[in-house]
């Protein structure tokens, strides 16, 4: 619910459990932030005192008296540079005369039912009665600059979604050099900063650090959200747990360069911002033009990290992911990548498909190596023509034969890339992003196509469309295996080269939107060398993303913990792979690999014709488990019970059905120790007044006993052992 107190000139945004309050400064018309936290009953109290702008001599009597001290302390809702605020700014500009000053003041606002939509960008949505929207217009008439701030609140989650749109209503160009989507000012309470870091094959590991003076945060300059740092941050209590403590969470609905940062100033105030990374960003706004910033999500929890997680999950399940597969079981697939790499043909794929069908697997996915002269990863990207020396009889023949076995068929493509050793590059070398006259650096022996150019975009789209229409293809894995570098586009003039990073992401979004429109029944799984583009922006186009190229069950514990802290389990691509694991060489029980993969979309990444007989024999049981539990895993509320990344010994999580009638607990005893007592696991999310039956043992426990005294875990022998505990309401 959004209200405006006319007499106090204060806006109040209420979610089910939180309030966000800001207002218009009476003297100068600046927009000032006052409060974000637990829900307040009303905004009639003198909430302005929280800004402390009225302490002593801080507030100038006139607009010129010690203005810089005032501006450098004021908790601006959307700050600008060049006028005396020396902190980081939400908006920075450059005018043709070389000046950078902008001073935004309130002009108008409107409150509407529903949710605003920004064309060309992924974003949240709402059905009738589910959301309210606030648009506040700020202006600097001296330079013809106008900014619209957008806020949305939802009836079913403690999330607030923010974005901004900038207009040039002047007579000369304005260059945007920094555009944030959300900002927040807070009193410091000895807070920590929580972020997610990693690299290829070890994405999204949690990291806490104390917020000290100066700037801290995470960012990407790679043209994608990235393996290394994630477009998420949280400001947290020093004593945060899953169930206790304050946490302010931020997530960016964008798939390119980002920055998420906090600063602690001389007055012990925290200033937080999230938006497009200003690195190599310079957007030219001609008179009459506008620029829309991507949406950012904020959420506040006073009951620990778990409530933040479930708020994000609720928002993304109900208001971001559009796919018809969202509430459906995804087909259990087997991917041939780790089974064969590039060494396969029609006969090999059909042999895998036949064995897969016999044990209940439902889809065969053909990965890299089916097109052009693609016998290794050094060539042929961009040549999306079936290699009939390998795919004998053609793609349609293969797909038809797989369908006859009762399996669906999926395919891998990497549409954004081009190999220097390809027919496409030999015909159009200028289609690659590279600087003329400079020998380009390669990554994975490939370059990036400049899909911001219309002719390149059209060729790429037609290549995808032709393949998908040529056979009964029901799943597409869309990959991207290198980052952008040495930026230059032959389609942009010199004064617009700073737009290439963002234009690239917009072009990608246009292509994925076209894909969704043209093939509405196609299951899409996005991927970028594993999890380098696992972000809310991509979830708008695909219901699932490949979580990591590392499929080792033990490595996946930390990767999936960090991912599930923000994103629903149904979005995480997770497979059972062969051992020794291809990424780390570890050997883990087949049962444990299955239990860890059940916490995602579930599938197989192995050669089923070669695995040990005893492992193959477990697949029908794992398939049955998937069908038994997937509705619960996909739709249930997620609770983190223990963190192997924190304790170094064991991991545990659970999901509880929305109606509270059943729960599934997954426990992984990673490292076994001698001469220790059994563990008790404190469960969460149950009804303390009800009783639950353990489906395996038949024992009955009170919900309060399970949550406050704990569930007695069974003993295990050896490392890497796992257990599923299925509880049903009596």
Q: Residues 6 or more apart from 686 whose CB is under 8 A from it?
A: 656, 660, 663, 692, 703, 706, 707, 727
- What backbone phi and psi angles, to 5 degrees, belong to 475? -150, 140
CA–CA separation, 216 and 209 (whole Å): 9
Task: Describe the chain by its helix, strand, coil percentages, rounded to 5.
Answer: 20, 30, 45
Query: Which two tokens mark 243?
Result: 């169930």
CA–CA separation, 308 and 249 (whole Å): 7
671, 679 Cβ separation under 8 angstroms:
no
Which residue pairs from 622-627 have beta carbons closer than 8 angstroms and sit at least 24 positions apart in sequence?
622/576, 622/594, 622/598, 623/332, 623/359, 623/360, 623/361, 624/360, 625/594, 625/598, 625/724, 626/329, 626/332, 626/598, 626/602, 627/329
Which residue pairs from 657-661 have beta carbons closer than 8 angstroms and sit at least 24 positions apart in sequence?
657/632, 660/685, 660/686, 660/687, 660/690, 660/729, 661/728, 661/729
Q: Is 285 exposed, middle or buried (0-12, 13-18, 19+ CB in 10 A)?
A: buried
Q: Residues 6 or more apart from 82 whose CB is under 8 A from it?
A: 92, 93, 99, 100, 101, 102
519, 467 Cβ separation under 8 angstroms:
no
CA–CA separation, 543 and 481 (whole Å): 20
Among the listed residues 549, 552, 607, 651, the single catalytic one is 549
Q: Is 286 exposed, middle or buried (0-12, 13-18, 19+ CB in 10 A)?
A: exposed
Whole-Å CA distances, 144 to 82, 135, 169, 563: 16, 19, 5, 43
551, 605 Cβ separation under 8 angstroms:
yes
Among the listed residues 479, 578, 607, 669, the single catalytic one is 479
Query: Which two tokens mark 406?
Result: 């009762």
Q: Pick from 385, 179, 187: which is nearest to 269 by CA?
A: 187
Query: Which two tokens mark 332?
Result: 């259990």
Give catalytic status of residue 549 as yes or no: yes
CA–CA separation, 236 and 88 (whole Å): 21
22, 33 Cβ separation under 8 angstroms:
yes
Provide the annotated active-site residues: 479, 549
């Amino acid at each position: 619910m959004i209200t405006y107190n006319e007499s106090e000139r204060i806006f109040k945004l209420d979610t089910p459990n939180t309030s966000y309050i800001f207002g218009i400064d009476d003297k100068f018309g600046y927009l000032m932030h006052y409060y974000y936290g637990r829900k307040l009953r009303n905004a009639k109290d003198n909430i302005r005192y929280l800004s402390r702008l009225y302490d002593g001599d801080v507030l100038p009597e006139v607009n010129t008296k010690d203005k810089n001290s005032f501006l450098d302390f004021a908790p601006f809702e959307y700050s600008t540079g060049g006028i005396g605020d020396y902190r980081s700014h939400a908006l920075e500009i450059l005018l043709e005369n070389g000046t950078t000053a902008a001073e935004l003041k309130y002009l108008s606002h409107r409150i509407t039912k529903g949710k605003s939509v920004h064309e060309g960008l992924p974003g949240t949505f709402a059905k009738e009665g589910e959301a309210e929207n606030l648009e506040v217009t700020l202006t600097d008439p001296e330079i013809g600059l106008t900014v619209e701030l957008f806020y949305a609140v939802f009836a079913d989650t403690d999330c607030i979604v923010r974005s901004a749109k900038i207009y040039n209503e002047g007579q000369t160009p304005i260059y945007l050099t920094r555009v944030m989507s959300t900002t927040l000012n807070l009193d410091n309470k000895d807070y920590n900063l929580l972020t997610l870091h990693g690299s290829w094959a070890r994405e999204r590991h949690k990291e806490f650090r104390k917020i000290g003076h100066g700037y801290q945060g995470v960012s990407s300059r790679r043209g994608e959200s990235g393996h290394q740092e994630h477009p998420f941050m949280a400001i947290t209590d020093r004593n945060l747990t899953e169930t206790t403590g304050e946490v302010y969470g931020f997530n960016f609905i964008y798939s390119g360069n980002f920055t998420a940062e906090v600063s602690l100033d001389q007055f012990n105030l925290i200033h937080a911002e999230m938006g497009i990374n200003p690195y190599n960003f310079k957007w030219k706004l001609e008179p009459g033009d506008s620029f829309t910033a991507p949406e950012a999500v904020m959420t506040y929890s006073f009951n620990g990290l778990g409530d933040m997680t479930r708020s994000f999950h609720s928002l993304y399940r109900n208001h971001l992911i559009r796919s018809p597969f969202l509430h459906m079981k995804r087909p259990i697939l087997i991917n041939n990548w780790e089974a064969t790499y590039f060494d396969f043909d029609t006969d090999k794929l059909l042999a895998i498909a036949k064995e897969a069908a016999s044990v209940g697997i439902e889809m065969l996915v053909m990965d890299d190596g089916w097109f052009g002269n693609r016998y290794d990863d050094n060539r042929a990207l961009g040549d999306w023509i079936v290699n009939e020396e390998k795919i004998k009889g053609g793609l349609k023949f293969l797909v038809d034969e797989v369908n006859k076995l009762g399996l669906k068929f999926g395919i891998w493509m990497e549409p954004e890339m081009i190999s220097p050793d390809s027919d496409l590059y030999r015909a159009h070398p200028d289609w690659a992003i590279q600087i003329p006259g400079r020998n380009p650096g390669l990554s994975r022996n490939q370059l990036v196509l400049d899909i911001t150019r219309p002719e390149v975009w059209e060729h790429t789209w037609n290549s995808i469309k032709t393949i998908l229409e040529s056979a009964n293809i029901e799943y597409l894995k869309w990959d991207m295996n290198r980052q952008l570098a040495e930026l230059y586009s032959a389609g942009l003039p010199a004064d617009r080269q700073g737009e290439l990073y963002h234009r690239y992401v917009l072009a990608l979004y246009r292509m994925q939107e076209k894909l969704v429109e043209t093939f509405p029944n196609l299951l899409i799984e996005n991927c970028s060398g594993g999890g380098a583009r696992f972000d809310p922006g991509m979830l708008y186009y695909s219901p699932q993303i490949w979580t990591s190229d590392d499929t080792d069950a033990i490595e996946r514990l930390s990767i999936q913990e960090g991912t599930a802290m923000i994103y629903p389990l149904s979005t995480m691509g997770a497979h059972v792979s062969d051992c020794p694991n291809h990424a780390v060489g570890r050997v883990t029980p087949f049962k444990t690999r299955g239990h860890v993969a059940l916490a995602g979309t579930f599938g197989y990444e192995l050669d089923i014709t070669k695995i040990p007989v005893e492992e193959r024999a477990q697949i029908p049981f794992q398939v049955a488990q998937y069908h038994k539990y997937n509705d619960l895993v996909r739709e249930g509320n997620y609770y983190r019970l223990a963190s192997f990344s924190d304790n170094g010994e064991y991991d545990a999580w659970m999901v509880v059905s929305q109606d509270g009638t059943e729960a599934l607990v997954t426990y992984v005893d990673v490292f076994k120790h001698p001469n220790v007592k059994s563990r008790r696991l404190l469960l969460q999310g149950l009804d303390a007044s009800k009783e639950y039956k353990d489906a395996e043992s038949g024992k009955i426990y009170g919900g309060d006993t399970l949550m406050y005294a704990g569930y007695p875990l069974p003993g295990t022998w050896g490392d890497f052992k796992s257990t599923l505990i299925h509880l049903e309401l009596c």
